[in-house]
Chains A and B, each alone.
Chain A
């Protein structure tokens, strides 16, 4: 029960089966953009995409999350009950890897109950890449088109059918639940998958040689490349909000009359008020320091602390930047300056 075949004719039945048991999140197209949304009854998600516009991190790390509600003058706090188990269908391997990487932070000095509970309740059904996007560079940062890290089940498109490989007990349970729709994968199926994955790997055209970058970045603190890069930056939050590994948040109180809630929401190191001190001092007063921080956080600080680069090479920041600030190009310049 670890490698099964799902004929594509059975795709909608398979989705229906999953949806019958758990809440299913899947990529939904809205106009030109694609994001993970709870699947409506009877809907069949399309898996025809290179990468969703918004990464699936939103499911386990919502952009705005209520930590608790309160009433001014009363001591009781109402902590919201988190939703039950969920299946994320069609997660790209890079986005799943990102969740494993981010989890290291949420498990660090204090366990973050909100993140970890949601993550625990989620079963990740991955979709191996057969046609990588223009700016994909996962193979340069430890991933690959069929990387299994963080996934419970991996699907690979073999043309007529999907190969389903269970990677964890959660994945096995899903296969068991849908077993009347599946057939045992023939011996050749795994070789066929290797072929698809191999071709996808070859199709990845962008690359970064990361050796020496984490160690070298501190020495480039005052290098002109930061000013050069930041000059054209608009200082918006597109690159960070749509990054699957960016996880910075702010905590704010929202009060209406006597009713209040404390909530956390995504924050972006590219914003001017990020880490603005109460005194009015800002340790990163201009976009030069903020740009430098974005790169250092991913390729230096996170590596020092958790021994892994906090970038999975999904290419979203490169694709979506309105002024062509290109992470791969920045890293090339870093490498050159080492």
Chain B
């Protein structure tokens, strides 16, 4: 990874008058953690990193920003926001464009071809996380971990994140400037998580999800981490009427998770943020990928790959299968 070029490009972008800030990653406060950072000036760009630890999808921050009413006599800040995007992150941005959640002129995309990020849990199991910072980089066949002056090589399949095992878009599908050479897409594995569930009986599947949803504490980190959960008026925050009770039990938790999953049908960019953010390790990616698979196989539609596409649920094709209509 050419960090120097990344930082130089970022510094140039944030120096422009029409740019508010650039959202990127910087080393976190301890261990393997990485923080999102909002670079405002050229000096701030020196902090930027891009490594296999940069799993988070920064596109979330495009829609998460809270806009207070503009005081009378003042103009709204219409400067652009620049963003570092991996392949999956760029799919989220494309989907936002398709849905007109953001305008193309509002964003500058710095594309980063990605060889796959790591699953923090798997890394922690192999090399327990301490306070001392660990640096991870890509190398042939896997990753290199440098910690306390010691170097370790970790085979790729041991700690690669599940979303990356299934990734078909390692290169950004949309960007204004790209840092580094395109990555050769790898042969993806079968989606074992979804296939295993598909082979179960309805009762077994119900039991599986009952166990998973019963763990949920309804912190809504999955919703908030998702770049495509950005309704101004989310049904979960509604107090009058209350659509989904705040009470935490299997019934309400299931209502919440079904609503969340269905709202992402034909929209999910498969960035895996919901699952990564979940403190209770609920495998939400399986739900999302199952829906994406149905949409892909039945309707030949894939979310977040073509900025000119119509939203899945707002498009009509006379050839769509309709076997569910009796």
**Chain A interfacial positions (CB closer than 8 Å to B):** 30-33, 53-54, 63-64, 134-135, 205-206, 231-232, 234-238, 241-242, 250, 252, 254, 263, 265-266, 268, 271-273, 276, 285-287, 318, 320, 322-324, 326, 328-329
Contacts and interface: CB of A to CB of B under 8 A. Distances in A.
A238 B56 CA distance: 16
A320 B217 CA distance: 13
Contacts of B31: 134
B109 to A, nearest CB: 19
Interface stretch (B164-172, B273-281, B304-312, B316-324): B273-281
Given A238-B219, A328-B29, A265 B281 contact: no
Chain B interface mostly: loop
A222 B68 CA distance: 16
Contacts of A54: 217
A254 B245 contact: yes
Nearest to A66: B247
A135 B30 contact: yes
Contacts of B38: 231-232
16 contacts: A53-B279, A63-B217, A64-B249, A135-B30, A206-B131, A234-B277, A235-B64, A237-B217, A250-B246, A252-B239, A252-B246, A254-B247, A276-B239, A322-B273, A324-B33, A326-B29
A237 B30 contact: no
A272 B245 CA distance: 17
A266 B219 CA distance: 10
A271 B30 contact: no
A231 B37 CA distance: 8
Interface stretch (B5-13, B82-90, B220-228, B261-269): B220-228
A237 B35 contact: no
A266 B36 CA distance: 28
Interface in B216-238: 217-221, 223-225, 237
Q: Select the residue from A242, A271, A324, A328 with max chain B CB neighbours within 10 A.
A: A324
Interface residues of B, number: 44
B75 to A, nearest CB: 19
A323 B248 CA distance: 25
Contacts of A30: 211, 215
A329 B33 CA distance: 13
A335 B31 CA distance: 23
B281 A287 contact: no
Given A231-B38, A252-B242, A254-B245, A237 B29 contact: no
A63 B221 CA distance: 17
A234 B221 contact: yes
Given A265-B247, A285-B66, A236 B29 contact: no
Contact of A32 (B121, B131, B223): B121
Contacts of B215: 30, 33
A63 B219 contact: no
Given A206-B131, A234-B224, A53 B280 contact: yes
A276 B237 CA distance: 11
Contacts of A63: 217-218, 248
Contact of A322 (B30, B61, B277): B277
Contacts of B37: 232
Given A32-B121, A33-B215, A252-B246, A273 B239 contact: yes
A265 B246 contact: yes
Interface of B: 28-31, 33-38, 56, 60-61, 64, 66, 68, 121, 129-131, 211, 215, 217-221, 223-225, 237, 239, 242, 245-249, 273, 276-277, 279-281
Contacts of A234: 60, 64, 221, 224-225, 277
B68 A286 contact: yes
B70 to A, nearest CB: 13
B280 to A, nearest CB: 5
Contacts of B280: 33, 53
Contacts of B66: 285-287
B231 to A, nearest CB: 12
A232 B277 contact: no
Contacts of B36: 231-232, 323
A285 B68 CA distance: 8
A254 B245 CA distance: 7
Given A232-B37, A254-B247, A323 B29 contact: no
A234 B61 CA distance: 8
A276 B240 CA distance: 12
A236 B121 contact: no
Contacts of B247: 64, 252, 254, 263, 265
B217 A241 contact: yes
Pairs of residues from A and B, 10 with the lowest C-beta to C-beta distance, nearest first: A236-B221, A237-B219, A322-B277, A326-B29, A324-B28, A234-B224, A232-B36, A286-B66, A324-B33, A64-B247
